Amino acid sequence: MAQLVLVPSTLELSAIGKQCFKPQTQCCMVNSTTLNLRTSKFPLKRVTFQRQKPLRSSFTVCATTLPIGQDAPPQPTNGFDQSSSRDSSKRKRVMVIGGDGYCGWATALHLSKKNYEVAIVDNLIRRTFDLQLGLDSLTPIASIHDRVSRWKSLTGKTIELYIGDICDFEFFSAAFKSFEPDTVVHFGEQRSAPYSMMDRPRALFTQSNNVIGTLNVLFAIKEFSEDCHLVKLGTMGEYGTPNIDIEEGYITITHNGRTDTLPYPKQANSFYHLSKVHDSNNIHFSCKTWGIRATDLNQGVVYGVRTDETDMHEELCNRLDYDGVFGTALNRFCVQAAVGHPLTVYGKGGQTRGYLDIRDTVQCMELAIANPAKPGEFRVFNQFTEQFSVRDLAALVSKAGEKLGIDVKTITVPNPRIEKEEHYYNAKRTKLIELGLQPHYLSDSLIDSLLNFAVAYKDRIDMKQIMPSVSWKKFGAAQVRSVAA
């Protein structure tokens, strides 16, 4: 059995014996008793087992939700024959990479409730980022082991855990072959533009982690299960803010009398968004070359905390980031209003983006999985429900605050980003609607709910994290120290 313990400076894994088991299935071999992952200013360090062969910065182990010392049940057959096509009568198996994160956790629970067999793959690095930078979720979040144990106790449904780094192909290929997914949902990337713009090490980490991780997923599908469907979380941010309508993935262009349909031009404005551009190109190439089936969901800005599943118990609660590194505009504004801090609008406030409720994120994932791409097809869906400027959001929060008796003021602060502050923005979003998406629109009642949520947890708010802390123009150690102070 394996036990995972998270402490401020060390991630320690104590393995008893030479084997680790996941629930109901024998897993990967390990021949070490202790593994340490030290945190530092740069999140990933080389980790080795106590043996001669070095490994990358992950550990090949499947965690267990059984009590330590309890024997795992005998390994059942899963009914899959790799020499033939999948049996459509079997429950579909979905591997959620990054399933301990904000979107991934809500998606994993939703799919499990919908009777998919679900496995989470995660290296838990998002929690380490908080430790490094002195940040914390507004909502207290339980460990991933307590989360899946609570889910099992409430629903009787098992979510399997694979703790490790998908950039380590030895680990990921073992997890992939063990679980045999029909669909891989890929959330497992460093997703913050400000984090990627902090300094050179974090820019490099964002690029290498995101791009290499996606390549490993593509190679695993190619080598072990070509019929597996990849559902990849993209970002609307990779399009930038062009002065023409944003199509869903592709655009038909006539130039010098000739016409062709091409991938929509990308205009990334951070190293994070650049990594997403690389992802899109790599997936597009793999679909054309290897016949992989893939769906890229270019997601807008997600808001909210609650889904039907995360509301079932406090240990299932999702995270809510409000700081200047990982927090998004609406969440930040609601937290600022709850503690009486003026809403901090960056620059002119005309920056317009697509937004969607976390409940719609899980809907979109379910729709993409239930309606897979064809072999060799790379689909792109724009995943958002409404468009708002930053000024619009501030006005909505101010109005909702007045109804709750909160005096909400708004200030403008120098924009730490390099972006257009007034621009044309009109993105298409028809494909998911055609598949049956039923949107939850941003209403007064929802903002009231977010504000009440922020008020309920306002004792956990760190006022030092309210203001923006990362500048696109100022790299270096001084900036990192100021964030962590």
pLDDT tens track for 401-423: 998 899 999 999 999 999 999 99
- The predicted model scores a pTM of 0.83
* CA nearest to 338, candidates 467, 441, 463: 463
Q: Can you tell me whether residue 293 is helix, strand or coil? A: strand
Given this model, what pLDDT does residue 277 score?
A: 96
**What is each CA distance from 403 to 268, 443, 449, in whole angstroms?**
39, 13, 12
Indicate which residue of 116, 239, 264, 272 is catalytic: 272
Q: How far is CA 455 from CA 52, 203, 337, 342, 458, in A?
A: 53, 35, 9, 15, 5
Question: Looking at this protein, which amino acid is placed at residue 232?
Answer: K
- pLDDT tens-place values along the chain, 485 residues long: 233 333 222 233 323 222 333 433 333 333 322 223 333 333 333 332 233 333 334 333 444 333 333 333 333 333 333 333 345 558 999 999 999 999 999 999 999 999 999 999 999 999 999 999 999 999 999 999 999 999 999 999 999 999 999 999 999 999 999 999 999 999 999 999 999 999 999 999 999 999 999 999 999 999 999 999 999 999 999 999 999 999 999 999 999 999 999 999 999 999 999 999 999 999 999 999 999 999 999 999 999 999 999 999 999 999 999 999 999 999 999 999 999 999 999 999 999 999 999 999 999 999 999 999 999 999 999 999 999 999 999 999 999 999 889 999 999 999 999 999 999 999 999 999 999 999 999 987 788 888 988 999 999 999 999 999 899 988 654 444 444 44
pLDDT of residue 475: 64
In the residue annotation, 235 being an active-site residue is answered as yes
Q: What is the pLDDT of residue 452?
A: 87
The partner residues of 411 in beta bridges, in order of sequence, read 344
Q: Where are the alpha helices (DSSP H) in 311-443?
A: 329-338, 358-370, 390-403, 431-435
Residue 23 has which token pair?
Answer: 């629930």
Q: Copy the structure tokens of residue 362.
A: 């899980």
DSSP 150-183: HHHHHHS--EEEEES-TTSHHHHHHHHHHH--SE
pLDDT digits (tens, 9 = 90+) for 141-175: 999 999 999 999 999 999 999 999 999 999 999 99
Given this model, what pLDDT does residue 476 score? 55
Q: Which of 183, 235, 352, 361 is catalytic?
A: 235
Separation between Cα atoms, residue 18 and residue 353, nearest integer Å? 51
- The reported pLDDT for the residue numbered 446 is 81
All residues at 6 or more sequence positions from 311 whose CB lies less than 8 Å from its CB, including other chains = none
Q: Can you give the pLDDT at residue 481?
A: 42
Q: Is 128 a catalytic residue?
A: no
Tokens coding 19: 């084997």
Sign of CA dihedral 185, 191, 196, 197: positive
Mapping DSSP to helix (H, G, I), strand (E, B) and coil, where does residue 320 land?
A: coil
The residue from 92, 232, 276, 431 that is catalytic is 276
* Residue with tokens 């449904």, as numbered in its chain: 157
